[in-house]
Protein backbone atom coordinates (compact mmCIF):
# COMPACT_ATOMS: atom_id res chain seq x y z
CA UNK A 1 0.00 0.00 0.00
CA UNK A 2 2.79 2.40 0.92
CA UNK A 3 4.64 1.63 -2.34
CA UNK A 4 1.53 2.29 -4.40
CA UNK A 5 1.00 5.64 -2.70
CA UNK A 6 4.64 6.62 -3.32
CA UNK A 7 4.34 5.56 -6.97
CA UNK A 8 1.17 7.62 -7.42
CA UNK A 9 2.81 10.65 -5.78
CA UNK A 10 5.88 10.24 -8.00
CA UNK A 11 3.75 10.04 -11.16
CA UNK A 12 1.78 13.12 -10.10
CA UNK A 13 5.01 15.00 -9.36
CA UNK A 14 6.51 14.11 -12.76
CA UNK A 15 3.25 15.00 -14.55
CA UNK A 16 3.02 18.31 -12.67
CA UNK A 17 6.65 19.13 -13.50
CA UNK A 18 6.06 18.27 -17.16
CA UNK A 19 2.96 20.47 -17.26
CA UNK A 20 4.90 23.32 -15.66
CA UNK A 21 7.74 23.01 -18.22
CA UNK A 22 5.26 22.81 -21.10
CA UNK A 23 3.40 25.89 -19.88
CA UNK A 24 6.64 27.85 -19.46
CA UNK A 25 7.91 26.88 -22.92
CA UNK A 26 4.79 27.39 -25.02
CA UNK A 27 5.41 31.10 -25.70
CA UNK A 28 5.27 31.31 -29.49
CA UNK A 29 7.49 33.82 -31.25
CA UNK A 30 5.47 34.25 -34.41
CA UNK A 31 6.52 37.83 -35.12
CA UNK A 32 10.11 38.08 -36.38
CA UNK A 33 11.65 40.79 -38.53
CA UNK A 34 15.03 40.97 -40.30
CA UNK A 35 16.86 44.23 -39.55
CA UNK A 36 19.12 46.12 -41.96
CA UNK A 37 22.34 44.87 -40.33
CA UNK A 38 21.30 41.20 -40.56
CA UNK A 39 20.09 40.96 -36.96
CA UNK A 40 16.60 39.58 -36.24
CA UNK A 41 13.95 41.25 -34.06
CA UNK A 42 11.59 38.81 -32.27
CA UNK A 43 8.45 39.73 -30.34
CA UNK A 44 8.39 37.81 -27.04
CA UNK A 45 5.57 39.08 -24.88
CA UNK A 46 3.58 41.73 -23.09
CA UNK A 47 3.25 42.69 -19.43
CA UNK A 48 1.13 45.28 -17.66
CA UNK A 49 1.31 46.69 -14.17
CA UNK A 50 3.69 48.86 -12.17
CA UNK A 51 6.64 46.43 -11.92
CA UNK A 52 7.81 44.63 -15.05
CA UNK A 53 10.23 41.80 -15.68
CA UNK A 54 10.58 39.21 -18.42
CA UNK A 55 12.76 36.09 -18.66
CA UNK A 56 14.38 35.51 -22.07
CA UNK A 57 15.91 32.17 -21.06
CA UNK A 58 15.13 28.58 -21.97
CA UNK A 59 12.15 26.79 -20.34
CA UNK A 60 14.14 25.75 -17.26
CA UNK A 61 15.46 29.29 -16.77
CA UNK A 62 11.92 30.66 -17.12
CA UNK A 63 10.77 28.25 -14.41
CA UNK A 64 13.70 29.28 -12.20
CA UNK A 65 12.82 32.96 -12.71
CA UNK A 66 9.62 32.32 -10.76
CA UNK A 67 11.57 31.17 -7.70
CA UNK A 68 11.96 34.11 -5.29
CA UNK A 69 15.24 35.21 -3.79
CA UNK A 70 18.86 34.44 -4.50
CA UNK A 71 18.18 30.84 -5.56
CA UNK A 72 15.96 32.00 -8.43
CA UNK A 73 18.55 34.62 -9.45
CA UNK A 74 21.29 32.01 -9.47
CA UNK A 75 19.27 29.48 -11.50
CA UNK A 76 17.84 31.76 -14.20
CA UNK A 77 21.35 32.68 -15.34
CA UNK A 78 20.92 36.46 -15.71
CA UNK A 79 18.24 36.07 -18.38
CA UNK A 80 15.65 38.24 -16.58
CA UNK A 81 15.30 41.85 -17.71
CA UNK A 82 13.53 44.39 -15.52
CA UNK A 83 11.90 47.60 -16.68
CA UNK A 84 11.90 50.56 -14.28
CA UNK A 85 8.95 50.59 -11.87
CA UNK A 86 6.29 53.24 -12.45
CA UNK A 87 3.84 54.99 -10.14
CA UNK A 88 0.88 54.11 -12.36
CA UNK A 89 0.19 51.04 -14.45
CA UNK A 90 1.88 50.85 -17.82
CA UNK A 91 2.13 48.48 -20.77
CA UNK A 92 5.45 46.92 -21.77
CA UNK A 93 6.17 44.99 -24.98
CA UNK A 94 9.24 42.73 -24.83
CA UNK A 95 11.52 41.95 -27.80
CA UNK A 96 14.72 40.01 -28.41
CA UNK A 97 17.32 41.13 -30.95
CA UNK A 98 19.29 38.16 -32.24
CA UNK A 99 22.43 39.96 -33.24
CA UNK A 100 24.27 39.32 -36.49
CA UNK A 101 27.42 37.39 -35.59
CA UNK A 102 29.27 39.04 -38.50
CA UNK A 103 28.85 42.49 -36.90
CA UNK A 104 31.28 43.64 -34.23
CA UNK A 105 28.41 45.16 -32.22
CA UNK A 106 24.78 46.14 -32.60
CA UNK A 107 24.07 49.85 -33.14
CA UNK A 108 20.49 51.10 -32.84
CA UNK A 109 21.47 54.17 -34.89
CA UNK A 110 23.27 53.25 -38.12
CA UNK A 111 25.19 55.46 -40.56
CA UNK A 112 23.87 55.90 -44.10
CA UNK A 113 25.94 56.17 -47.29
CA UNK A 114 25.03 59.84 -47.68
CA UNK A 115 26.55 60.63 -44.27
CA UNK A 116 23.23 60.71 -42.40
CA UNK A 117 22.10 58.37 -39.63
CA UNK A 118 18.99 56.26 -39.24
CA UNK A 119 17.36 54.39 -36.35
CA UNK A 120 16.80 50.64 -36.75
CA UNK A 121 13.48 50.96 -34.90
CA UNK A 122 11.03 53.81 -34.38
CA UNK A 123 7.81 53.52 -32.48
CA UNK A 124 4.66 55.36 -31.55
CA UNK A 125 1.76 54.56 -29.28
CA UNK A 126 -1.88 54.85 -30.34
CA UNK A 127 -5.31 54.23 -28.86
CA UNK A 128 -8.19 52.31 -30.49
CA UNK A 129 -9.18 55.34 -32.58
CA UNK A 130 -5.71 55.66 -34.13
CA UNK A 131 -4.89 58.74 -32.04
CA UNK A 132 -1.30 59.18 -30.84
CA UNK A 133 -0.95 59.56 -27.11
CA UNK A 134 1.84 61.14 -25.13
CA UNK A 135 3.27 57.94 -23.72
CA UNK A 136 7.02 58.02 -23.33
CA UNK A 137 9.03 55.15 -24.72
CA UNK A 138 12.36 53.95 -23.52
CA UNK A 139 14.44 51.83 -25.85
CA UNK A 140 16.80 50.01 -23.55
CA UNK A 141 19.15 47.27 -24.68
CA UNK A 142 20.42 44.65 -22.24
CA UNK A 143 23.10 42.14 -23.20
CA UNK A 144 22.07 38.55 -22.40
CA UNK A 145 24.49 35.67 -21.68
CA UNK A 146 23.73 34.31 -25.17
CA UNK A 147 25.16 37.49 -26.74
CA UNK A 148 21.70 38.58 -27.94
CA UNK A 149 20.04 41.79 -26.78
CA UNK A 150 16.79 42.18 -24.86
CA UNK A 151 14.77 45.34 -25.41
CA UNK A 152 11.39 46.66 -24.36
CA UNK A 153 9.01 49.49 -25.15
CA UNK A 154 7.15 51.05 -22.20
CA UNK A 155 4.02 53.17 -22.46
CA UNK A 156 2.98 55.79 -19.96
CA UNK A 157 0.13 58.26 -20.17
CA UNK A 158 -2.28 55.81 -21.80
CA UNK A 159 -5.81 57.00 -22.62
CA UNK A 160 -8.19 55.65 -19.96
CA UNK A 161 -11.06 55.36 -22.48
CA UNK A 162 -9.27 53.04 -24.93
CA UNK A 163 -9.70 49.28 -24.26
CA UNK A 164 -6.39 48.48 -25.97
CA UNK A 165 -3.00 50.06 -26.59
CA UNK A 166 -1.26 49.81 -29.94
CA UNK A 167 2.50 49.82 -30.39
CA UNK A 168 3.37 50.71 -33.98
CA UNK A 169 6.94 50.00 -35.04
CA UNK A 170 8.74 51.24 -38.11
CA UNK A 171 11.50 48.71 -38.75
CA UNK A 172 14.46 49.43 -41.02
CA UNK A 173 14.99 46.12 -42.77
CA UNK A 174 17.32 47.29 -45.58
CA UNK A 175 18.86 47.23 -48.01
CA UNK A 176 18.74 50.92 -48.68
CA UNK A 177 15.92 52.75 -46.97
CA UNK A 178 13.35 49.94 -46.94
CA UNK A 179 11.05 50.34 -43.93
CA UNK A 180 8.26 48.01 -42.87
CA UNK A 181 5.56 48.56 -40.30
CA UNK A 182 4.40 46.24 -37.54
CA UNK A 183 1.62 46.68 -35.02
CA UNK A 184 1.30 45.02 -31.62
CA UNK A 185 -1.94 45.29 -29.65
CA UNK A 186 -2.55 44.55 -25.97
CA UNK A 187 -5.24 45.23 -23.36
CA UNK A 188 -5.02 48.69 -21.82
CA UNK A 189 -4.11 48.23 -18.13
CA UNK A 190 -5.79 51.55 -17.26
CA UNK A 191 -9.03 51.08 -19.22
CA UNK A 192 -12.13 52.03 -17.28
CA UNK A 193 -15.50 51.03 -18.69
CA UNK A 194 -17.91 53.92 -18.94
CA UNK A 195 -21.12 53.65 -16.83
Kindly tell me if the per-residue pLDDT of 20 is higher than 70: no
Kindly tell me if the per-residue pLDDT of 17 is higher than 70: no
Residue 86: inside a domain: yes
What is the count of structural domains for the chain? 1
Residue 192: inside a domain: no
Instruction: Report the run of H or E that residue 11 belongs to, with start and end.
Output: helix 2-25
Residue 22: inside a domain: no
* Res 19: pLDDT: 59
* Res 42: pLDDT: 92
DSSP per-residue codes, 104-144: SS--SEEE-TTS-EEESEEEEEE-TTS-B-------EEEE-
Kindly tell me if the per-residue pLDDT of 22 is higher than 60: no
The model's pTM is 0.74
Residue 148: inside a domain: yes
- CA-CA-CA-CA dihedral for 99, 103, 104, 106, to nearest 10: -40
* Res 28: pLDDT: 44
Kindly tell me if the per-residue pLDDT of 144 is higher than 70: yes
Residue 35: inside a domain: yes
* Percent of the chain with pLDDT strictly greater than 90: 4
Kindly tell me if the per-residue pLDDT of 135 is higher than 60: no
Residue 2: inside a domain: no
In terms of residue numbers, what domain contains 104? 29-187
Q: Does residue 27 or residue 73 have the better pLDDT? A: 73
Contacts of 72 (CB under 8 A, 6+ apart): 64, 65, 66
CA atoms lying within 13 Å on the CB side of residue 192: 6
Residue 20: inside a domain: no
Residue 161: inside a domain: yes
Q: Does residue 34 or residue 86 have the better pLDDT? A: 34
DSSP per-residue codes, 32-65: EEE-TTS-EEEEEEEEEESSEEEE-S-HHHHHHT
Amino acid sequence: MKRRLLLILFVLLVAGGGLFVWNASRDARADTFALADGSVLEFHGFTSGTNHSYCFGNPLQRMAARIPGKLGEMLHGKTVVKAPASASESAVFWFLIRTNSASAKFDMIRPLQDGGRKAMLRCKWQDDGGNDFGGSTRITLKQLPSGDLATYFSSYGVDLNSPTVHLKLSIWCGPGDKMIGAEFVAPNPLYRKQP
